[in-house]
Amino acid sequence: MENPRGFSIRFLFAKLRAQPTQQLIHRDVVQHYQTQMKKHPIILIILIFALNFNLFSQNTITEKYSDKILQESKLRIATDKAIKYIKTNNSDSLIASFPKTMSSSISKSQISQLIQKINGLIDSEGIPKEDNIQPALKALPRGNDTLFVNQIYYRFKNKVLIFSFLQEFGPNKIAGMNLIDDPFSGNGVEPDFKSSEKFEYNLDKLTNFRIYYKQIKPITKFKNNLGVFAIEGNNGIFKESGLSEKFEPIIKELSKSKFEKKEIFNQLLDRGDNVEFIQAELGFENKDYGIFLYLPIKGGKISMDNIIFQQRQFANLGYQYTLLKENYPKIVRYLTEIIEMDLEKYYLINP
């Protein structure tokens, strides 16, 4: 599946995506969580966005938590297999995707009910792809310690399918699976940070990045993938690959801070079908949000005259600015030049 948005320390897990929102979880919530885990082992992690807990987006994860992150490409192998089992109603294989200590407590009727609900969404909306598949790292208090949970979100229009993983079991075993209402799907949800109409960013403070390119018709082969590539990593890879040289003029020109329209967004960017584009996500250690640039090249819903710039708390929450290409010719030039760079050693196997 395509995934232009994420980042392995992928952003967000982008990542995908801005500085962590850190809050304390109340003790009674922890006790409730522990009780529910005993009653319903399959629902290991219950996401309650309205309650207090620590949320880290891999889009903005710092080196401090890098050792807590499981390799996203391996997690995606496990979740893609789980989706396949769900589509084929293979409850036995899906149960076997959990560690033995959990699978022995999961009833077939319980998993079958969940499969039925998920398949209903897949039948009506299809399997999520691109920005609708998002990684995340969550932290939950466990006594005097902290439990770190790696997750993959499959976002439908109003629901989110969440797969959870623990370091204890590794990336090949699912430690939790849950289908919830999307807390950001309704109107009125606003970012937790203030927007900044001065687009000034310091590449020396860059912590992570992700670049994604897609052709309308897959013609060019980028390593093992046809018509698509993704590159991501930390500041070291950013400089080593030569991408920093392309982004220096991009960031400098972005500081013009000239835009046609500003709005809060709480939906994923709708690129439309049959579109060629390149986009970039950058996280900074001194910012409480990540930034996102989207350059349409051909086709799609977004005007060819525009560039989309976002200050992101999440891929579907933040502030969006519409820029005119004519005002930012260097952004157009250098983003496009990235497509022609010799970056094969940096292309992701699973973009």
**Which pLDDT value is given to residue 46?**
32
Given this model, what pLDDT does residue 183 score? 67
Global confidence as pTM: 0.66
The answer, yes or no, to whether residue 278 has pLDDT greater than 80, is: yes
290/4 Cα distance (integer angstroms): 15
Q: In angstroms, what CA-CA distances link 71 with 25, 74, 147?
A: 27, 6, 17
pLDDT of 188? 65
The sheet carrying 133-142 orders its strands as 54-56, 133-142, 145-155, 159-165, 176-181
Averaged pLDDT, 297-312:
95
Instruction: State pLDDT tens for residues 128-168.
Output: 887 788 888 887 776 677 888 899 999 888 889 999 999 88
Residue 24 DSSP symbol:
P
Per the DSSP assignment, residues forming a β-bridge with 296 are 277
Mean pLDDT over 320-341 rounds to: 97
Cis peptide before 16 (omega within 30 of 0): yes
Q: State pLDDT tens for residues 229-245.
A: 999 989 999 999 999 99
Give the integer Cα–Cα distance in Å for 121 and 288. Answer: 34
